Each structure stands twice: as structure tokens, then as C-alpha cells.
Structure 1
């Protein structure tokens, strides 16, 4: 009788594994207790979603790296999932918010609660955040030292509202910081900079393990820009294998539809993001 198949990637059972391979990924996580602080950043993600991704691509206790950590959604997800984590963030504003969350919140009953509400019985948020340029910080890490890289990078140039200035919060770039990937002058230089970072990610990642990137598509100058797949191709060129994509939308925080060019021409409301799954082979 053949032996039980060993799970080399995560701690999930077969049913949980199969469920997560669905390319449609619709969630409904409402804002959590840390959201009032994190919402100052225009591209934060629900920690619960990040925890689900982390649980699939790592085992308990393994190290997760986020080189574009923002206000720490990946690190908070890692804390929920029981994984060690390390984040790099260029802008000290976002580092300060994450460290405020570390100071004021703990995990109790599987959710984030204010420290004073838990009678000091919660679990600490222990992910480490380092402030600085991620390319330089990546170069300081040893090769093949990270179990997974899970990140939500800037989405390139000219990221701002066009015609509906109040529709969402675009506060995510770092003004006057030349190292900010979101300040790249054009798409070509954006992808080239991202490839430089991708080469370092490839170096520090364990063989056989995954780079997972959340990337939203864009609509600019009257044309749909499939940024997710352009980023995936850029990562393929530095050595990663593109293994698949999950189309993610969180119903609880999705912004209302806007009447772009209504009764004139088709303009999409982009309410999803691409979860790009790439592997070092």
C-alpha cells in the first residue's frame, strides 16, 4: 500500500489545498481593528487575505519576506498565520504606523485587539520592519534564506485619480524619494527597476519556493494596461517560472462602481487584483 503523500509546501490538508487552487478568489473580510490606522496608506490589504496566502505558500514558523511592506499587511497576516516575517519599507510614515500597531495591538481569539482590551493575554505582533530602500536591504540578506516572498509592489507611474478625485485614497507613493518604484517616469523604467529587485528576490528565496505578487491592472490614456501580466513577464525574464494567477476581489471593501464614460464608450471598473504566483525552479 503506498505511503501517505508528504506535503512539502504547507500545513494544509488535501481539501484545503484543492479549494485554494481556484483561480477566482472572492473574499468578504470587513475592516479589522487596525484599519483606521492602516487606511492612511492607499494600497493596504486585509491581513486576513495575506494570512490565507501565507498559509498556502509556507509552513508554520518559516520566514516570509515583504520587500514593499507599506503599513505591514503581510507582516500582520504572518502573525495571524504563525509565521516569522520581515518587511522593508522606504517611507518612514508607513513604518511608524506599523510600529504603532505593534505597540497598541495584540492577537486574541484569532483577531487583532487593542492591548488594553485583552488583560495582557494576547499574542504579540513580532514581525520585523526595516526602513530603507528594498534593493539595498535585499542585498544584505544571505542567499536562499527566505521561505516565501509575498508582496504588493507599487503599480507604476501616474497613479492617481482621473476625473473622480474622491473615489479612493491614492496616498501610497513617497514624494521626492528617488528610490520609490512608484515614481518611475515610464512603464519601461518601472519594469526595469522591478527586475533589479526581482533578481535579488530570486537570490534570497529557497529553491522550489514562491514569489507571490498582488498587482492591479490599470486604465490609462484610453487603454487597458494589463499590468499584472506585464509584471509576470518581467519576473519570468529574471528567472522565475510563472505558475498561475488568482483573480482576487474583496467584497466588503470594494469601492462603488463609477459611471466612467457612461452612454459613450466602454471603460471598465477595475474591482479586482491579480495574485501572481511565480516559482524559483
Structure 2
């Protein structure tokens, strides 16, 4: 008699697992209680989305690493999912915001709320944030010690607003920090530096486990740049297996469509991001 199929990756049942394999991923999470603080960063993600990703790629109690932690969206998601987490962030501005959130917010009944509003006192946000260059900090970690790496790296290649300058908050770069990945001068150097970091990520990742990257595509100089798939290919070249992609869009916070070149030429409103799923095999 055969027993139940073992699940070495997560704590989901078969129905939950199957649901999450849909490549189209539409969410409706409104801004959470930490949004007024985190919105100072131009690439923040809903903690609830990050929690769903964390739940799929880890079991409860397993450590989640984010080498480009920003204002801590992955760490907050890990806390909602009941996982310990570790984040690396180069810019002290974003580290300070995350630590302010740790000080002033807690989790109560599965929701992040202000500490003074928690009836029961709530659970602390225990994810650890370390300030510094992720390449250096990754080298301090033992090989094959991390169950999951979930991150939203800077997009580099002159990431800034052009034309419609007020439509999007691009405050995600660190112009005074030369080793900021977002300051890469061109696509080739961006992908090269990302590969260098990716090699360290692969070293510390446990065999058979996943690197999950949220990467938005770009539109530059009149041409669509499929940055998500270019990043996936760069990770393949250093040994990761590209296992799939989820096309994510959060309807509750999606910006309104802009009239780019209306009645002239086709210019897309990019309202999705790619969730790249890569495995160390």
C-alpha cells in the first residue's frame, strides 16, 4: 500500500499547489498599513503577494533570503507566512524605513497593523535587515545554507522616467553608491553584474531549491525590452534552470493607462511584472 505523496517544498495541499501553478497571477491587494512609509521607495511590493510566494517556495520555519531587500516587502511577507527572513540592502535610507516599520508595526490576526492598534499586542516583525553590498554579504553565508531566495532586484539600464515624469515614483536608485546595481550604465553590464551576484546566490542556495525574481519589462528608445526573460537567460547561463514564469498584476494599485503615442504608433502600457522561477539543480 502506497502512502501519501510527500511534499518536500511547502505546506500546501494539492489544490492550493495546482492553483498557484497558473501562469496568470492577478491580485487585488490594496495598500497596507505600512504603505505610507514604504511608498518612498519606487519598487515596493504588497507584503501579501510576497507572503504567497514565500508560502509556495518554503515550509514554515525555513529561512527566506532577499539580497535586494529595499524597504523590506519580502521580509514582511515572510513574517505574514510565519517564516524567518534575512535581507541585504545597500541604501541606508531603505534600511531605516524597514527598521521604523519593525518598531511601529506588528502582526495581529494575520494582518500588519500599528503597534498601538493591536488589541492583543501582536507579533513582532522579526525579519533581519543587514546594511551593505549584497555581493559581500552573500560571501559571508555558508554554502547550501539557504532554502529560498526571493527578491526584486533593481532594473538598471538607466531606469528613470522619461516623458511622463510624474506618473511613476522612480525613487529606487542610490546615485551616491557606485556599487548600486541600478546604476549599471547599459544592459550588458547590468546583466553581467547580476550574474556575478547570481553565482553567489547559487552557491548559498540549497540543492533543488528556488531563486524567485520579480522583474518588470521596459520600453526604451522606441523598443520593448523583455528584461524579465533576458534576466532569466542570464541566470540560465550561470547554471540555474528556468522553470517558469508568472505574469503578475495587482489590480488594486495598478496605474491608469497613459496615452502613449495614441493614434500614432503602438506603445504598451506595461502593467505587469514577471515572476521568474529558477531552480538550482
TM-score (norm: length of structure 2): 0.99
Give the Cα separation in 2 of the matches to 1:116 and 1:3: 48
Match of 1:263, SS state, is coil
Give the Cα separation in 1 of the matches to 2:198 and 2:171: 24
Match of 2:155, SS state, is coil
RMSD over aligned CA atoms reads 0.6
Matched, 1:4 2:11: no
Report how far residue 120 of structure 1 moved.
5.4
TM-score (norm: length of structure 1): 0.99
Tell me, which stretches of 5 or more residues in structure 1 are unaligned? none
Kindly provide the CA deviation profile for residues 183-230 of structure 1, in whole angstroms up to 9, marking residues without a partner as x: 001100000000000000000000000000000000000000000000
Match of 2:208, SS state, is strand
Report how far residue 121 of structure 1 moved.
2.0
Tell me, which stretches of 5 or more residues in structure 2 are unaligned? none
2:236, 2:242 within 8 Å by CA — same for their partners in 1? yes
Residue correspondences, number: 281
Q: Once superposed, which parts of structure 1, at least 4 consecutive aligned residues long, lie more than 6 Å away?
A: none
The residue number in structure 2 matching 1:114 is: 114
Match of 1:169, SS state, is coil
The residue number in structure 2 matching 1:22 is: 22
Report how far residue 119 of structure 1 moved.
4.3
Give the Cα separation in 2 of the matches to 1:34 and 1:52: 18
The residue number in structure 1 matching 2:160 is: 160
2:211, 2:279 within 8 Å by CA — same for their partners in 1? yes
The residue number in structure 1 matching 2:53 is: 53
Give the Cα separation in 2 of the matches to 1:119 and 1:20: 33
Give the Cα separation in 2 of the matches to 1:120 and 1:159: 43
The residue number in structure 2 matching 1:196 is: 196
The residue number in structure 2 matching 1:35 is: 35
Give the Cα separation in 1 of the matches to 2:189 and 2:157: 9
Report how far residue 160 of structure 1 moved.
1.3
Farther-moved stretch of structure 1 (148-157 vs 118-127): 118-127
